[in-house]
């Protein structure tokens, strides 16, 4: 009996092909694919990825010294923390401080301190006030500097920052005034060998030279609403990158002659340099020697 061949299993039916997207849809899909591939490529070469910052120094807590020391019961010294005063003889018309004559304000300051300006340390300042016109514009010998107006107290009205030279000498007086109705009130006063003054926000920043080479003093007064005065909030010594931060050049030496005689030797004769005195009289080191 012939052998029967096994029947093949029935072939499964093919799934129906999905409908092809239209041409605009295919273009949109291709654009999205390109954008994704581009973002991946950029991300792989991005230099802004997280990187190690190296070893971090261990944090050390401050050590409290002398825990049994009795706390002070009074301020160490008076530096004029709350220095306010009504200027006598000067009014503020309509409460507008811009209408006040800065020269009149300085004259009132001088009149309030006769011991300093009569026959005192700054008598030259008082004499040169005769060369000042309104706002200090007349006469090059006038010690009053240009006045600046800015709202330092936060009340929406301009305040007056005023400076004038303390002569003889190389000091500058810095004053700040505000208007309270028709009265002129001094809310900050300072004088020293000033090298720069800045106004920033509600603060007055004064830079002064230091007797330490490569450093300067930086003092900041900030308006305090509770005290209604400019308070000294920062007093620090900052590095300026001057002589302290640079290496001193080597001292020059005299070149030897081409054929020196046996009995002659080259020599270097140092020259005396005038010592420069700083604010506190500390002499600076002598300069480099020069060959004769």
Token readout for 167 is: 């002569």
Separation CA 35–CA 10 (nearest Å): 46
Which residue has 């011991």 as its token pair? 115
Nearest by Cα to 249 from 290, 200, 202, 201: 290
Quote the pTM value. 0.61
State the pairing for strand pair 148-150/159-166: antiparallel
Q: What is the pLDDT along the chain (292 residues), one digit of tens a residue?
A: 433 333 434 434 434 434 444 444 545 555 555 455 555 555 555 566 777 778 888 888 889 899 898 888 777 655 556 778 999 999 999 999 999 999 999 999 999 999 999 888 899 999 999 999 865 555 678 999 999 999 999 999 999 999 999 999 889 999 999 999 999 999 999 999 999 999 999 999 999 999 999 999 999 999 999 999 999 999 999 998 755 444 444 445 555 555 555 544 444 444 443 333 333 343 444 444 444 4
């Amino acid at each position: 009996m012939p052998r029967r061949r096994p029947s093949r299993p029935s072939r499964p039916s093919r799934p129906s092909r999905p409908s092809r997207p239209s041409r605009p849809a295919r273009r949109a899909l291709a654009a999205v694919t390109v954008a994704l591939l581009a973002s991946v490529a950029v991300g792989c070469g991005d230099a802004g990825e997280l990187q190690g910052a190296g070893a971090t120094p261990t944090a050390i807590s401050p050590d409290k010294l002398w825990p049994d020391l009795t706390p002070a019961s009074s301020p160490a010294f008076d530096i004029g923390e709350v220095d306010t005063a009504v200027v006598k003889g000067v009014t503020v018309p309509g409460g507008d401080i811009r209408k006040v004559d800065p020269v009149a304000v300085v004259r009132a300051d001088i009149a309030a301190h006769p011991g300093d300006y009569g026959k005192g340390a700054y008598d030259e300042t008082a004499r040169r006030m005769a060369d000042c016109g309104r706002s200090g514009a007349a006469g090059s010998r006038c010690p009053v500097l240009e006045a600046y107006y800015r709202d330092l107290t936060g009340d929406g009205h301009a305040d007056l920052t005023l400076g004038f030279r303390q002569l003889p000498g190389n000091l500058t007086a810095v004053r700040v005034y505000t208007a309270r109705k028709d009265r002129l009130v001094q809310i900050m006063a300072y004088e020293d060998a000033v090298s720069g003054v800045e106004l920033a926000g509600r603060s007055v920043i004064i830079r002064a030279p230091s007797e330490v080479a490569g450093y300067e003093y930086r003092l900041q007064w900030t308006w305090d609403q509770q005290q209604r005065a400019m308070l000294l909030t920062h007093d620090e010594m900052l590095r300026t990158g001057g002589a302290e931060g640079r290496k001193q050049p080597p001292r020059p030496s005299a070149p030897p002659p081409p054929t020196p005689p046996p009995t002659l030797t080259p020599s270097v004769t140092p020259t005396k340099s005038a010592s420069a005195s700083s604010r506190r009289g500390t002499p600076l080191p002598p300069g480099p020697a020069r060959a004769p």
